[in-house]
């Protein structure tokens, strides 16, 4: 899995932030790492995009990572359920 972090020039400590974001995202999505490609994109699907507003940048990153994890889980659960229904027929 490749994780890219982009910021504008208003963000201080960009390298430290990028390392933190990568760690949080890798941890939140580790279970799905073999099915995720660049830009939090599940194979064969459009990119999954999430945002989260919080008081601090760290809280925003953590919140967005949690949303991304839940979104990927829901998508894969739905996909698995539909596949099971098709196979049952």
- 37 phi, psi to nearest 5 deg: -110, -165
Structural contact between residues 54 and 63, judged by C-beta atoms closer than 8 angstroms: yes
Of all residues in the chain, what percent carry a pLDDT higher than 90?
7
Q: What is the pLDDT of residue 74?
A: 92
- Token duo for residue 19: 């390392």
> Which distant-in-sequence residues (6+ apart) come within 8 Å of 49 by Cβ?
40
Q: Report the distance separating Cα 43 and Cα 5, nearest Å.
A: 20
pLDDT, tens digit (0-9, with 9 covering 90-100), for 50-60: 888 888 777 88
Low-confidence ranges of the chain (pLDDT < 70): 1, 33-37, 89
pLDDT, position 1: 65
């Amino acid at each position: 899995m490749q994780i890219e972090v982009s910021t504008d020039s208003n963000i201080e400590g960009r390298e430290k932030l990028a390392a933190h974001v990568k760690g949080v995202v890798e941890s939140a999505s580790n279970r799905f790492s073999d099915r995720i490609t660049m830009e939090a994109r599940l194979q064969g699907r459009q990119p999954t995009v999430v945002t989260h507003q919080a008081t601090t940048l760290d809280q925003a990153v953590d919140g967005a990572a949690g949303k991304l994890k839940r979104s990927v889980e829901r998508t894969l659960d739905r996909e698995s359920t539909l596949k099971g229904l098709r196979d049952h027929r």
